[in-house]
Amino acid sequence: MKKREFLKLIFGGLASFVVPIQTKQLKASVAPPFVSLCNIAIAHEYGAIVQYINHSGLISERRIKKLLDSNMRDEIVHARRITEILVKEGATPTISIWPPQTGRSLKRLIEEDIEGENAAIKLYTQILDLPESKRYRDEIYSFLKREELHRSRLVEILSAFKNGKA
Ligand SMILES: [Fe+2]
Ligand SMILES: [Fe+2]
């Protein structure tokens, strides 16, 4: 299932906050944007956790494995904290998992991880723009900074690989 179809399935029209889809109409029964985006963030974190486990198992270079494991531990913290925030807000946290991606080459795996980090950065930036995120601003901002750090370390690995140094 493609990411877009998956989002449409679990979050309906609100997926347009992340991925533009044809209809922009929101149904009256749909949760507020803060709750919907936090649930997308949780699903995304779960997908990233599974993806990092898979990729660190497929990759044999110790330094890269260590980095992916460290990223994965951060994503666990993020997923659990956003879950706690939704409970505090009286909402139901999702247990849906964004479809993890895999591949056969180191380059492809790292590219997928960078794509995941880009999506996480986009999501947390959108959440921070919502007035409801004010109460959790420092925490969510720190998540955004971690995602940016994950991305920059992965980009370093990818460029080292392209230059034949990884
Ligand atoms: Fe994360
Ligand atoms: Fe991340």
Q: How many CB atoms lie within 10 A of CB 9?
A: 11
| Ligand with an atom nearest the CA of residue 77 | 1
- Residue 11: per-residue pLDDT: 54
CB atoms within 10 A of CB 12: 18
Q: What is the DSSP letter of 130?
A: S
pTM tops 0.95, yes or no:
no
Which pLDDT band holds residue 26 (cuts at 50, 70, 90)? very low
Residue 156 pLDDT > 50: yes
CA of 20 to the centre of ligand 2 (A): 22
pLDDT digits (tens, 9 = 90+) for 56-102: 999 999 999 999 999 999 999 999 999 999 999 999 999 999 999 99
**Cα separation of 124 and 136, whole Å?**
12
Ligand 2 is an ion; residues with CB less than 5 A from it:
117, 147, 150
Ligand sitting nearest the alpha carbon of 68:
2
Question: How far does residue 146's CA lie from ligand 1's centre (Å)?
Answer: 7
**Using N-to-C axis directions, what is the helix angle for 62-88 and 137-162, rounded to 10°?**
160
Numbers of helices and strands, H then E, in the chain: 5, 0
Q: Is the pLDDT of residue 104 over 50?
A: yes
Nearest bound ligand to the CA of residue 44: 1
| Ligand 2 centroid distance, CA of 69 (Å) | 11
Cα 24 to ligand 1 centroid, rounded to whole Å: 27
C-alpha 44 – ligand 1 centre gap (Å): 8
CA dihedral of 75, 78, 83, 85, whole degrees rounded to 10? -170
Q: What is the pLDDT of residue 8?
A: 55
- Ordered by where they begin, the domains of the chain are 32-162 (1.20.1260.10)
